[in-house]
Amino acid sequence: MLFDSYPHITKSFQAMMEEYGRQVDFDEAKALFEITFETCYSHYGVTPEMAARHSEKEHIYDMEPKAVPFENTLKTLETLAARGAKQFLYSHRGHESSQHYLKEYGLLEFFTECVDSSYGFTPKPAPDGVDYICDKYSLSRAETVMIGDRELDVLSGKNAGTYGCLYTKEKNIETCADFTVTDIFGVTEISV
């Protein structure tokens, strides 16, 4: 949720599909990725071999457009850290990819732990990753907020018994989230 990575993901997907002689509409594919990777892959009939090739392309970090932090991400993390908030990352990405982005933009220091796909948890919206964090760090679920830029991120937190906050540029979006912010800095105003 920290990074605007969907343009990069989609561009790398287009490059992979071109290798297989197929053209993909950028906006359509991006909208599908914003739901889940599986949604996009299923729509386009992506095979496991193609998905692996997409992953390789996605790990070409200097491919334009690059994944960059959302506006106000650093300011938000600094503000929450100054208040003593424990911050965790729960990502579908692999360890190498998650660490790369956090280190590149100087954000790793703000996180107590970064949970990624290498942990082997059932993917979101399953609560497993959030449960792990809450249990390991004795976090009160009544005082914990799962923040994400997709409904399945919010659902993962809600399924674990925490609050959910959706970060989206969309107005009046239907969501199960307890909180919705259109500027990531808005999470600093959440009180639970």
Is residue 40 domain-resident? Answer: yes
Which phi-psi region, left, alpha or beta, contains residue 106 (left: φ > 0; alpha: ψ -120 to 50)?
left
CATH number for the domain harbouring residue 135: 3.40.50.1000
Q: Residue 163 sits in which domain range?
A: 70-189
**pLDDT of res. 125:** 95
Q: Which parts of 23-171 are beta strand (E)?
A: 68-69, 88-90, 113-115, 145-148, 163-167
Where residue 81 falls among pLDDT bands split at 50, 70, 90?
very high
Which tens digits make up the pLDDT trace of 150-176? 999 999 999 999 999 999 988 888 999
Residue of 1 and 97 predicted with greater confidence: 97
Mean pLDDT for the stretch of residues 103-122: 95
Same domain assignment for residues 14 and 84 = no
Average pLDDT in the chain: 94
Quote the number of domains for the chain.
Answer: 2
At residue 148, the 3 state secondary structure works out as: strand
Residue 62 has pLDDT above 90, yes or no: no
